[in-house]
Amino acid sequence: MPSGELKTAMKNIDDNFKTESIDKLRELAEDVQVCMFCTRLNELPIAARPMSVQEVDEQGNLWFISNARSNKNFEIAQDSQVQLFFSKMSNSHYLSVYGRASVLTSREIIEKHWTPMAKPWFEEGKDDPDVTVIRVTPSDAYYWDTKDGQAVMLFKMAARAMGADVDDGGVEGNIAL
């Protein structure tokens, strides 16, 4: 195979792998929807608050609506490192995402990501001057999932507790971003 064809083939493999990774990130984050959004990662206690993800885009960025006067916006301005923890007990879906956050004020971006669910936090709705959008660009993600569902997983855990040699039904791994 000529080197040009090999490079093209390798790029296609890399692109497919990245697409599958972003699809997994999107599947888990959008299924769970609410995460603990953590800032000030170098200080204890870490600042954490629940946030709803609006979208995971084609590049794997996670998007959130936030108030310009919120502590998290100030904290992101000082240090853009963030950690997001998603957990959905009913499906046994768990996701940890580390990345960099940026606060955006573009009307076009606000319009794109606005949801009526954010209205209670903003007197003037999406036209409120304090509406901002946070984009988290992940650099590392790890997930835990079950391949059997929670009921089967609980049954298997009970069987293992009684000494049976049973696969726990769990799947976990890095999401390559």
Cα 7 to Cα 11: distance, rounded to the nearest angstrom: 6
| Beta strands at 47-52 and 55-56: parallel, antiparallel or unpaired | unpaired
| CATH superfamily, region 3-175 | Electron Transport, Fmn-binding Protein; Chain A (2.30.110.10)
- Domain residue spans in the chain? 3-175
> Who has greater pLDDT, 24 or 152?
24
Cα 47 to Cα 33: distance, rounded to the nearest angstrom: 19
Contact assessment for residue 21 and residue 177, using Cβ atoms and an 8 Å cutoff: yes
Mean pLDDT (the chain) is 83
pLDDT over threshold 60, residue 173: yes
If pLDDT is split at 50, 70 and 90, which confidence band does 27 have?
very high
Structure confidence at residue 19 (pLDDT): 81
pTM for the model stands at: 0.79
pLDDT in tens, 83-112: 999 999 887 889 999 999 999 999 999 999
